[in-house]
């Protein structure tokens, strides 16, 4: 079951529970399992920053420590160096790969989703005043 902290208790695989039911959680596990392991909350500012910069496993594996540290600092995280080490290690871990065409399609989807989530977060902040 794939869950998001912004909607606790929602099973994204179950339409009856408010999820999309399209299998996106399952596909995320198949396409980019390292991202699911590296980030507790895919909608957090640091995760969005890094996924926006590296929306596929190959680019994520090449993220520098300083880039990860920068994202964590901008998100005002604690214990930045240890978290950066953990994230980098998880993103660089060996994993199964998909065909290049599929990777490109999923990377475009991740980039689009990141842009939408950032825009929605901005609007939510504006509406909250």
Taking the C-alpha atoms of residue 40 and residue 115, their distance in angstroms, rounded to an integer, is 19
- The tens digit of pLDDT for each residue in 57-103 reads 999 999 999 999 999 999 999 999 999 999 999 999 998 888 899 99
- Cα separation of 11 and 115, whole Å? 23
Q: Write out the residue range of the structural domain in which residue 2 sits.
A: 1-31
CA distance 83 to 86: 5
Nearest of 62, 84, 64 to residue 73 by alpha carbon: 84
In a shared domain, residues 23 and 40: no
**pLDDT single digits (tens) 13-45:** 554 544 444 444 555 667 888 998 999 888 899
Assess whether 23 and 42 both reside in one domain. no
Output DSSP code: residue 52. H
Is 43 found in the same domain as 15? no
Please state the pTM of the whole predicted model. Answer: 0.77
């Amino acid at each position: 079951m794939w869950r998001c902290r912004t909607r606790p208790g929602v099973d994204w695989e179950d339409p009856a529970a408010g999820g999309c039911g399209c299998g996106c959680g399952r596909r995320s596990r198949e396409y980019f399992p390292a991202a699911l392991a590296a980030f507790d909350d895919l909608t957090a500012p640091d995760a969005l920053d890094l996924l926006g910069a590296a929306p596929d496993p190959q680019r994520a594996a090449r993220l520098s420590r300083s880039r990860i540290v920068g994202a964590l600092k901008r998100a005002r995280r604690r214990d930045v160096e240890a978290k950066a080490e953990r994230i980098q290690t998880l993103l660089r871990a060996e994993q199964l790969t998909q065909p290049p065409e599929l990777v490109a399609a999923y990377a475009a989807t991740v980039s689009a989703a990141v842009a939408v989530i950032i825009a929605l977060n901005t609007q939510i902040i504006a509406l909250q005043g």
